[in-house]
Amino acid sequence: MNNNNNNGEGEPSKKESSSFNLDSRFNQTLRNVQGLLKGRSFPGKVLLTRRSDPFDVSGSPDFSPNIERSYLENNLGPGELMGRSSEEEVQSSRNPIDDATANNSNLSVSQTEKTSRDVPKSMTGARATDSARVMKFSKELSGSTVILETLRELAWSGIPPYMRPTVWRLLLGYAPPNSDRREGVLARKRLEYLDCVSQFYDIPDTERSDDEISMLRQIAVDCPRTVPDVTFFQQMEVQKSLERILYTWAIRHPASGYVQGINDLVTPFLVVFLSEYLQGSMENWSVLDLTPEKISNIEADCYWCLSKLLDGMQDHYTFAQPGIQRLVFKLKELVRRIDEPVSRHMEEQGLEFLQFAFRWFNCLLIREIPFHLVTRLWDTYLAEGDALPEFLVYIFASFLLTWSDKLQKLEFQEMVMFLQHLPTQNWTHQELEMVLSRAYMWHTMFNSSPSHLAS
């Protein structure tokens, strides 16, 4: 066995690490996939193949990399892409430099074989189509008891918009998998939220403590700032709904209380649950078209789903937000291992990851990408379940390294400005799917090496 791999974890030596480049890692990973996953597909996951210059975007806001893209389990929804079989996907990934870089990989064949064995055979086979995946969702949701693991696999690559409210409630554990209990549980939880609003929100300030008054005022200031480039969120009624949800949540969660950024996290839930009642483009929606009972039900669903989401990352929003600081450190370490040149350049320029990545973790990228892509991104977030905080590190590394070449040409001040105003305004599903694909690939490469992010 090669001495460089004698740690048994597939990690290269320090000498090797310094010579690795992103192409060799990515290309060899695809070679391993080609040899071992013929006729197979990762359930619910996306793989993207590209030529030898994956991240060279030259700073262009119209980011359009030379990429052949496919879904191993095809994607869904209007404007999204069609799938191909995994064997077609793998064959398209070959390029002339693969053989020259084959020996530089830090992902052993045995590791990839283990990954491939973990893929359920039932998920393999013929080319998938949008209608076929809709049928899979429909079949899973129509049963007396939803198998959540199967639903997660399907949801990872995107959920049909009209099924999204139901699927999100199930993935978050707000709605029970048993269909016979679902309606009763939702009715009870919605009444409980209404009681909380009556008890904590619909009271005069004279009955609040000074801290509660201060918190309510901060929420009232932040609500109009929430997703300011989407006119729907500027409606007064929408802002009042946000205010009720956030204040009620903060009162019920005194360990953290309200933290700026949580207001952003309500917005995907609000849009998805409103979509059950309002048709057409979100820009044309008006909450005034809904009855008070429907508005209350929507707010309740947002409240409970936000609570479920944040239950898995409680220390992200407690004092000093230690959970986020820990993940920012892991992001820095992961970027160093994946793309040492850009990591070294950022360090030489004195750029700290906390200066840009803290907001990413705090708001889960909502402020960094066009809002019409957020719900698709959150399909993957919610499909990850309890593993989401760890997987965020890989998603954000992939997001950052989209601009690897650009970043290496910038000095400190330029880099700060660039990272705070990233050119994503013209992004489509294609760019988002590529970010998720790389994140999945790198997670596959590293997750069998327990010490890869050790401090």
392-405 pLDDT tens trace: 999 999 999 999 99
* pLDDT reading at 337 higher than 60: yes
Give the pLDDT mean for 6-31: 45
Of 162, 62, 41, 79, the C-alpha closest to 433 is 79
Give the pLDDT mean for 438-446: 93
Among 9-18, 128-137, 337-346, 371-380, the least confident range: 9-18
Among 86-100, 143-157, 218-232, 241-255, the least confident range: 86-100
Residue type present at position 295 = I
pLDDT at 451: 59
Residue 417 Ramachandran class (φ > 0 left, ψ -120 to 50 alpha, else beta): alpha
pLDDT at 447: 77
Which homologous superfamily is 322-448 in? Ypt/Rab-GAP domain of gyp1p, domain 3 (1.10.472.80)
pLDDT at 115: 36
> What percentage of residues in the chain have a pLDDT greater than 90?
68
Structural contact between residues 50 and 128, judged by C-beta atoms closer than 8 angstroms: no
3-state secondary structure of 358: helix
Residues near 407 by beta carbon (within 8 Å), at least 6 away in sequence: 342, 345, 346, 400, 415, 418, 419
pLDDT at 110: 37
Among 22-26, 209-213, 269-273, 342-346, the least confident range: 22-26
d(CA 403, CA 419): 9
* pLDDT reading at 114 higher than 50: no
Among 116-125, 360-369, 414-423, the least confident range: 116-125
* pLDDT reading at 78 higher than 70: no
pLDDT tens profile 167-176 = 999 999 999 9
pLDDT tens profile 295-311 = 999 999 999 999 999 99
Among 124-138, 171-185, 232-246, the least confident range: 124-138
Among 29-33, 234-238, 422-426, the least confident range: 29-33
pLDDT at 452: 56
Mean pLDDT of the chain, nearest integer: 79
Regarding predicted confidence, which is higher, 51 or 177? 177
d(CA 375, CA 185): 25
Residue type present at position 411 = E
* pLDDT reading at 60 higher than 60: no
Structural contact between residues 152 and 385, judged by C-beta atoms closer than 8 angstroms: yes
Give per-residue burial for 17-51: e unless 16+ CB within 10 Å, then b.
eeebebbbbbbbbbbbbbebbeebbbbbbbbbbbe
* pLDDT reading at 133 higher than 80: yes
Structural contact between residues 267 and 224, judged by C-beta atoms closer than 8 angstroms: no
pLDDT at 418: 98
* pLDDT reading at 207 higher than 60: yes
Distances (CA, A) of 78 to 52, 67, 167, 190, 429: 30, 21, 18, 31, 10
- H and E: helices and strands count for the chain: 21, 2
- What is the value of pTM for the model shown? 0.74
d(CA 440, CA 435): 9
Residues near 418 by beta carbon (within 8 Å), at least 6 away in sequence: 59, 403, 406, 407, 410
- 70 phi and psi angles, rounded to 5 deg: -155, 165
Q: Which two tokens stand for residue 223?
A: 């609500």
Residues near 195 by beta carbon (within 8 Å), at least 6 away in sequence: none
Question: Taking the domains of the chain in order of start, what are their residue ranges?
Answer: 158-312, 322-448
Give the pLDDT mean for 142-160: 96
Residue 69 DSSP code: E
pLDDT tens profile 323-333 = 999 999 999 99
* pLDDT reading at 450 higher than 60: no
* pLDDT reading at 408 higher than 60: yes
3-state secondary structure of 71: strand
Give the pLDDT mean for 64-91: 33
The burial of 279, by beta-carbon neighbours within 10 Å (0-12 exposed, 13-18 middle, 19 or more buried), is given as: exposed
pLDDT band at 449 (very low <50, low <70, confident <90, very high): low
β-strand pairing of 67-71 with 46-50? antiparallel
Give the pLDDT mean for 19-48: 41
pLDDT at 290: 96
- 377 phi and psi angles, rounded to 5 deg: -60, -40
The burial of 167, by beta-carbon neighbours within 10 Å (0-12 exposed, 13-18 middle, 19 or more buried), is given as: buried
pLDDT band at 130 (very low <50, low <70, confident <90, very high): confident
pLDDT at 71: 32
Structural contact between residues 263 and 216, judged by C-beta atoms closer than 8 angstroms: no
pLDDT at 77: 35
pLDDT at 20: 45
Give the pLDDT mean for 411-433: 96
Regarding predicted confidence, which is higher, 350 or 57? 350
